[in-house]
Amino acid sequence: MPANPLIALVNGRVLGDHGPREGLAVLVRGKRIVAIVAHDDARMADAQRHDLQGRLLLPGFIDVQVNGGGGLLFNDAPTVETLRGIAEAHRKYGTTGMLPTLITDTAEQMHAALAAVDEAIEQHIPGILGIHVEGPFLATARKGIHNANLFRQPDASDIEVLTAPHRGAVMLTLAPDQVPPSIIARLSEAGVIVVAGHTGADYATTRAALDAGVCGFTHLYNAMTPLSSRDPGVVGAALDDPHSWCGLIVDGHHVHPATLRVAIAAKASGKCVLVTDAMPPVGSDRPDYVLNGQTIVMRDGICQSEDGVLAGSALDMAGAVRNTVELLGIPLAEASRMASSYPAEWIGLGRTHGRIAAGYRADFAVLDDSLTVHETWVGGAIYPVG
């Protein structure tokens, strides 16, 4: 057997740039897609065939907000082993790339998390594309489940560690009403993907932050000032701005479906991204976990504290795509892009990840018509589900 064989994924419906198509084969060698060809293409003669059994072949999902999974919470132990376990848990649901997310914590934990992600990427842990640091530069008035006792302004040490060279993407959620535009600009110019969230900012403050380098919004609508007739707030600024991305949690609990449809209709094409905000119950039989000393329990798909505060979600990416189709009425091709090519663009990987096209990473999710995942491919390696 050749050391680097040509593999042909056949008998599937390939979701390319123009929707699902039958009668095509996807040729893979190593970690990359070689070509999309007809079944009678001459190159098929030398390929090892992998039968998709008539299922859908979608680009692998990319989740830019993953707090935990498989019973593990990144904050509890920001280590390579934790990252390995979280990525493995989400891989069952078609996630081939993620930004593990550190919720507001101490400076020491933030430094440890950044180092762990760098080490995981160096060790080629499948699916780790970078890190999302959500806090601690947030607003107490919109704290959600975050520990407001740890909120603070970024100091020179924070800026140094965030802007230092890292092996993957670095996304930072901050509150524009707590961090001045000069700091936002400094972070953005150094390559940090600066996004707004957990903020009580008004429209003008948010607009100034966008001009300084904020490029997106963390879980749009949640933990931010709403849109109203005379005060557009953060939501108004997000929907009004044609260039920024918006993360959407489509779980049927965080945001009403009609409200999500309004955002998708208002934003420019390609700027709405599906995220999970996933917590340890995803991929685990255990419904409870501890966050900031509080016991959080997942009931009926909702993760809440004892006093009813939402604490992330029990959503996986396959579920997010399914809900986007079923609850929002979005075509599968667009829902898939919201989970793959759009997040890839957001984190600077649009030329290598998120599409089924020649030269792109061989990252796939294989789903049946109920949008249940049966196989996940990461970098040309297959991970059967079940």
Averaged pLDDT score across all residues of the chain:
96
Active site residues: 277
List pLDDT tens digits, range 97-123.
Answer: 999 999 999 999 999 999 999 999 999
Work out the percent of the chain whose per-residue pLDDT is above 90: 95
Question: pTM (2 decimals)?
Answer: 0.97
Pairing of strands 193-196, 216-217: parallel
Q: Mean of the pLDDT values across residues 159-179?
A: 98
CA dist 167 → 80, 111, 125, 341 (Å): 14, 14, 12, 21
Q: Mean of the pLDDT values across residues 219-235?
A: 98
Q: Mean of the pLDDT values across residues 75-103?
A: 98
Work out the percent of the chain whose per-residue pLDDT is above 70: 99
Report the 10 Å Cβ neighbour count for 188. Answer: 19
Pairwise CA distance, residues 229 & 83, whole Å: 44
Question: Which residue segments constitute the domains of the chain, with CATH numbers given?
Answer: 6-58+356-384 (2.30.40.10), 61-346 (3.20.20.140)
CB 257 within 8 A of CB 46: no
Lowest mean pLDDT among 15-24, 148-157, 361-370: 15-24
**DSSP track, 168-186:** SEEEEEE-TTTS-HHHHHH
Flag whether pLDDT at 134 surpasses 70.
yes
